[in-house]
Amino acid sequence: MSAAPAYQTRSARRAMLIEPGRLELCAYAPPRPGPGELLLQVRCALSCGTDLKAWRRGHPLWKLPMPFGHEFSGVVIEAGSGVSAFKAGDEVMAAPTAPCGECFYCARGDENLCPDAVGRMLHGAYADLIVIPAHIVARNTFIKPRDLPFEEAALLEPLSCVVHAQAMAAPAAHETAMVIGAGAFGLLHMIVLRAAGVRQIVVAGRGDARLRWAADLGADRVIDVRAQDAASEIARLNGGFGPDLVIECTGQVDGWSDAFARVRRGGRVVFFGGCAPGTALSVDTRRMHYDNLTLLAPFHYRPRDVQAAYAMLSRRDLGAGRIINARRSLADLARVFEMLEQGTVLKCAVIP
C-alpha cells in the first residue's frame, strides 16, 4: 500500500462564505483527486470584485454557504488517474471554468456562453488546498513559467475576461480609449490597451486613491467623474470628437449611461461591468442610429482568450502584477474584504 500523501497529515483550511458579510475559515480534508483531477496546494489566491459583490449581497448564481475564491495558482500535490499533462510538483495556473466543447454555443465558438462555463465554476481558492475538476484540467489549466510569480499567475482569469472584451473591441494604435472605473478590472483594461499600443488611454473614475493608482500605472490622463467639468473634459478628448472607444467597468447603470453618452460618433462602447439583476438601460435611439454607435457587451471568456492571456502573462512584459497592491495571509481574509469594501486596496494576494 502506498504511503498517505503528505497533505493528509496536516490540517488544511478553506474559507466558506456562510452568508453575506460572514466568512469562516473551516477545517478541510479534500478527497483524493478523482480521474482527470488535480489536487493543488494553493500558493496564491486573489481577491476579485465578483467575490466582493457576493460577500456584500450574495450572488444570483451561487448558493450559500459555499467555498470561496476563484483566482489562484499553486503546486500540484497529486494528479488523478488519466492526467498526463501535469504531475506532482508542477507549478500551475488555471481559469476557474471550462466549457463542454460540445453544446450549441461551443459548436459556434461561443464557448463563453456554454452552460458548463458558468454553471460549473470552481470556488474554494481561499484555502490551503483545492481540487481542480477534470473539465478544467483538460482545457484551462497551464504550467506556470518558473519566473512568473504565483500572484501574477493567479491573474489568468480576470485577464482572460479582459482579453475577450478587447478582442471584441479591437482597439487600434491611433485611437483614444477611455476606461470608466478605476478598479482592478478598469486598470487591467488600461494595461492591456497599453500593450496593444493604443495612443491615448484615459481613465475616468472616482476615489482619490484609485485615480492615483491609475496615474501611477500609466494612464495618460485621469479624469475625476465627480468634477463639475468632467463631461466637457471628456468631450474635448481626441481633438474635440470624444473617445473612439469607451470601456465601462463600474457595473453601474450610471456608468453604462455615461459610456453611451461620451463615446464619439461612430465609436464603440464596451459594457464590461455587469450590473445588478433587474436593472435596465435606456438609450437614445436617435443617438444610437444617427451617430452610428457600436455597442458591445462581452461576457466571460473562451479557451482561446485564456490561451492568449496565458501567453501574455508568460511573456512577462505586461506588468499586470502591478495591480496587486496588498498581501495578506489566509487567516486575515475577513479583513481583506473589509479593505476592499473601503476601497483601500485594488487587488489583494491572499497567501495560505
Q: Could you give the CA distance from residue 129 to residue 13 in angstroms, rounded to a whole number?
A: 8
Q: Is residue 114 part of the contact set for Zn ion (CB under 5 A)?
A: yes
Contact assessment for residue 78 and residue 33, using Cβ atoms and an 8 Å cutoff = yes
The reply on whether position 99 binds Zn ion by CB under 5 A is yes
How many residues belong to the site for Zn ion (CB under 5 A)? Answer: 8
What's the closest the beta carbon of residue 184 comes to Zn ion, in angstroms? 9
The interaxial angle of helices 184-195 and 156-169, nearest 10 deg, is 60
- 70 neighbors 51 (Cβ within 8 angstroms): yes
Rule CB under 5 A: is residue 106 a binding residue for Zn ion?
A: yes
Q: Which is nearer to Zn ion, 44 or 106 (CB)?
A: 106
Q: For residue 44, give the C-alpha cell.
A: 496564491
CB of 102 to Zn ion, least distance (A): 6
Rounded to whole angstroms, the Cα distance separating 153 from 161 reads: 15
Closer CB to Zn ion, 48 or 345, in the complex? 48
Q: How far is the CB of 49 from Zn ion (least distance, A)?
A: 7
Residue 113 engages Zn ion in binding (rule: CB under 5 A): no
Q: Which residue of 45, 48, 148, 306 would you call a contact of Zn ion, by CB under 5 A?
A: 48
Q: According to CB under 5 A, which one of 18, 26, 66, 100 is a site residue for Zn ion? A: 100
SS3 label, residue 26: strand
Strand, coil or helix: 282: coil
The interface mask with Zn ion, positions 64-93, x = CB under 5 A, is: -------x----------------------
Cβ(181)–Cβ(262) under 8 Å? no
Minimum Å gap between C-beta 143 and Zn ion is 21
Nearer Cβ to Zn ion, position 113 or 167? 113
Q: What does DSSP assign to residue 102? A: S
For the chain, the 3-state helix, strand and coil shares in percent, each to the nearest 5, are 35, 25, 40
The reply to whether 95 sits near Zn ion by the rule CB under 5 A is no
Residues near Zn ion (CB under 5 A) are 48, 50, 71, 99-100, 103, 106, 114
